[in-house]
Structure 1
Amino acid sequence: TIAVKDIKALKKKLRTSTQATARQARMDFLSKLKKKNNAAKIAIGHTLDDRAETVLINLIKGSGGSGIAGMDFYNRRMGIVRPLLSVTRKEVEKYLKEKRVEFINDSSNYKKIYLRNKIRLELIPLLEKGFNPQIKRRLADTAQILSMEDDYLEEQALKNLESALIKNFDSFSAHTSSGKGCVTTPLSLRATPSTLLRTGSGSVAISSIKGIASVALLPRNDIAIRPWKREADKVVLNIDFIKSLPFAITYRIIRKAMWRLKSDIKGLSFSHVDKVFSLMREGKTGSSLNLPGKIRVRKVYNELVFSKSIKKKDFPAETVKLALPGETKLPFLRKTLNALVLPRDSVKFIVNDKRIGIFDFEKIETPVIVRTKKNGDRFTPFGMKGSKKLKDFFIDRKIPGENREKIPLLLSCGEIIWVVGERISDKFKVTQSTKEVLLVGLV
């Protein structure tokens, strides 16, 4: 099978070098061919010479152990095998000549404008003549040793990565209301695939919530929670935890955090990771840095937040009426609120999730309004008697400034009843005398 690609056009699109573009085009073609023929592996003709050259290339570029180890006999992720990696180019050519098998030498391999060619044609002959005739084999041996060590460090990094990740909605609690407050009982819960609330006799259903862990009522001892799902455009690491690890493991965890945002991190060097370390150790909360590949890293108290750099949006203090009951779309936030009113007696338990608000409906005047923050906003957080500036509440909750304008607020008669996802107002809480409750869920 033969394929033809316009490398110049592809190079312009990918913004990579000619060699890198051609290499990518070859791999894309081979991967498609592998899939089309249901093949197990892609066999590539890299030799010991290629491996030695790669070691020197990555040494010159300042790569770490993984880069210096370079190519290996087997790449599990890409499904590539290199059966000739322990054989020299001369040995391969000698074999082909003995078997009278014709082969083609790529003329571009002799152009010294490329780093690999300069290493092959100038540096390696110099090292062979002046230092070690077996330099290529010694470099290949070094690569193999580093590859084995890299496998071990990779395993350790993966083990620690899950502990380093900060995830919301990892655990849930069940609460039962009483006149003296809430009694918390931990629950081990598993999700059902379709509903926010499963109902028993006399219960009321709420529409499904997609892609987030969602609070659920537990009437008649029935329970359903959707699983937590990490956002694809953000990774958050626990600074105290990763600082306690050996540098080599922390280095890899940081690279993996970047990789989770962008699979191609070739533009990221040791100096970039070192800047992340400096931010983590010395940066003040709120400080940030931008990395290649449109990756942004911020220090937020004890968290290191990796995200994709996007243009800041101005979120208007737009006003929307909450549908009671029903679904209210918030186009300016790309969110939805589901609301319903039900008898207090039908609610026996509440699963603790910040994306659900439950209120004494008799204390609420309609219409209920949804908007984002305004200067001078105040409310009475649950558990407090007096009011507080919303700005001070956000500071106490350690919510980054750039996230505050994205948080919806529910208001009744001009008074905030819920800072959505954070805290309800104490004035509108459910008590023993409550007859009807308003339940609102954020999607």
Structure 2
Amino acid sequence: NLNPRIDLTNLEPAYTRNRIRLELLPLLESQYNENIIPALIRLAGIAWEDKEYFYMQVEKAKYIVSREKESCKIDRHGYAGLHPAIGKRLINTCLKEMGLFQDMTAVHLAGADHLLRHGRTGDRIDFPGGYGLRLIYGKGELYRETEKTEDIEFCYPVVLHDNTLEIPELNALLRVRILQAKQDTELYRSKDNRFCECLDLAGKGIKDGIYIRTRRPGDYLIPLGMKGRKKIQDFFVDEKIPREERHRIPLLCFGQEVLWVVGHRLNDNYKVTEYTREIVCVEYVPLL
């Protein structure tokens, strides 16, 4: 016993949806195909089935995606094996899961697909809402641009005796221990701890002038196991360290020479040998 209410604006050809229903469909039905309405219904059903199948394949392809806190990383080698129809839907699905539900167009998805297949490290493409895709070596990272923070800078002198130094910019500590016998290093340095390193500084005549700091132009090192010097910028590139992380990596330095890229590589000139008499054991301790 309900009385329907009619929205009179639905009877006015003022909107595109109304013109399609009131003018275009009757014209197609009278002039071109009297069965246009049933045909469109059948087409909608076929499109729905196709969509279901496509997204089943997208679910299967998600093994190439690693979800992180504020981003999704897509393995480029795995992506190259996907059909573009699946690849683009995979990108769109990841962006929806990250919070981008609208304004993505076919042009955006085609650009992202091309970037993942043919782009080079450092290339990027922007999407609506501050989202984007950037290439980081073998990965394509979908991200949302947050408020940019300035690159941190710090420089603290390191005293060569037993002590602990605070690095507030990184919320971390730097512990220094002076050892006399090579075998003692095993008490402080674990093979599984990449944030602890032992150096021979006295053997090179270094007694002071050591600093823990961020990178500067002209910095260089001789990576452990190599003979030639390498610019720190080239080292970061060769080690595939993402650009946005490089300014947060502390460097133990003497002048422009990097003695230790904390967490990554020791300078070959300062490795401990059988002839080392005094060992400087340095440990970087991030605070939780």
TM-score, structure 1 normalization: 0.51
What residue in structure 2 maps to residue 102 of structure 1?
3
Match of 2:77 among 230, 234, 240: 240
Task: Read off the aligned partner of 1:292 and give its amino acid letter.
Answer: P
Q: C-alpha offsets along residues 118-168 of structure 1, whole Å, 9 cap, x if unaligned?
A: 2222223333333445544433333233223322321221222222x3x5x
What residue in structure 2 maps to residue 358 of structure 1?
196
Match of 1:299 among 128, 135, 142: 135
Change over 3 Å in CA distance of 1:345–1:420 after alignment to 2:
closer
What residue in structure 1 maps to residue 167 of structure 2?
328
1:253 aligns with 2:90: yes
Q: C-alpha offsets along residues 400-428 of structure 1, whole Å, 9 cap, x if unaligned?
A: 5x436523223254442333454343455
Q: C-alpha offsets along residues 25-47 of structure 1, whole Å, 9 cap, x if unaligned?
A: xxxxxxxxxxxxxxxxxxxxxxx
- Matches of 1:141 and 1:275 in 2, distance apart? 32
What residue in structure 2 maps to residue 158 of structure 1?
59
1:406 aligns with 2:243: no
Change over 3 Å in CA distance of 1:123–1:405 after alignment to 2:
same
What residue in structure 2 maps to residue 375 of structure 1?
217
Q: C-alpha offsets along residues 209-238 of structure 1, whole Å, 9 cap, x if unaligned?
A: xxxxxxxxxxxxxxxxxxxx7231x33322
Contact 2:152 2:248 in 1 (8 A): no
Q: Which moved more, 1:278-287 or 1:357-366?
A: 357-366
Change over 3 Å in CA distance of 1:387–1:273 after alignment to 2:
same
Q: SS where residue 122 of structure 1 aligns?
A: helix
Q: How does 1:122-133 map to 2 (within 5 A)?
A: 122-133=23-34
Task: Read off the aligned partner of 2:144 and give its amino acid letter.
Answer: K
Q: C-alpha offsets along residues 230-252 of structure 1, whole Å, 9 cap, x if unaligned?
A: 231x3332222211122222121
Contact 1:357 1:439 in 2 (8 A): yes
Q: Shift of residue 376 of structure 1?
A: 0.3
Task: Read off the aligned partner of 1:244 and give its amino acid letter.
Answer: G
- Matches of 1:326 and 1:320 in 2, distance apart? 8
- Matches of 1:417 and 1:305 in 2, distance apart? 32
Task: Read off the aligned partner of 1:101 and give its amino acid letter.
Answer: L
Q: Shift of residue 102 of structure 1?
A: 1.9
What residue in structure 2 maps to residue 140 of structure 1?
41
Contact 1:430 1:437 in 2 (8 A): no
Identity of aligned residues (%): 27
Q: How does 1:18-417 map to 2 (within 5 A)?
A: 100-163=1-64, 165=65, 230-232=68-70, 234-264=71-101, 266-309=102-145, 314-315=150-151, 317-320=153-156, 324-325=163-164, 328-330=167-169, 335-340=170-175, 344-346=185-187, 349-351=190-192, 356-360=194-198, 363=201, 369-399=211-241, 402-403=243-244, 405-414=246-255, 415-417=257-259
Change over 3 Å in CA distance of 1:259–1:329 after alignment to 2:
farther
Q: C-alpha offsets along residues 97-136 of structure 1, whole Å, 9 cap, x if unaligned?
A: xxx2123233443443433222222223333333445544
What residue in structure 2 maps to residue 438 of structure 1?
282
Contact 1:239 1:303 in 2 (8 A): yes
Q: SS where residue 129 of structure 2 aligns?
A: coil
Q: Which has the higher contact order (CA 8 A, sep 6+)?
A: 2
Q: C-alpha offsets along residues 225-283 of structure 1, whole Å, 9 cap, x if unaligned?
A: xxxx7231x3332222211122222121222343344332x211112111223333444
Task: Read off the aligned partner of 1:440 and give its amino acid letter.
Answer: Y
Task: Read off the aligned partner of 1:104 and give its amino acid letter.
Answer: R
Task: Read off the aligned partner of 1:337 and give its amino acid letter.
Answer: A
Structure 1 runs not aligned, ≥5 long: 1-99, 168-228
Task: Read off the aligned partner of 2:284 and give its amino acid letter.
Answer: V
Aligned length: 271
- Matches of 1:347 and 1:371 in 2, distance apart? 23
- Matches of 1:381 and 1:438 in 2, distance apart? 17
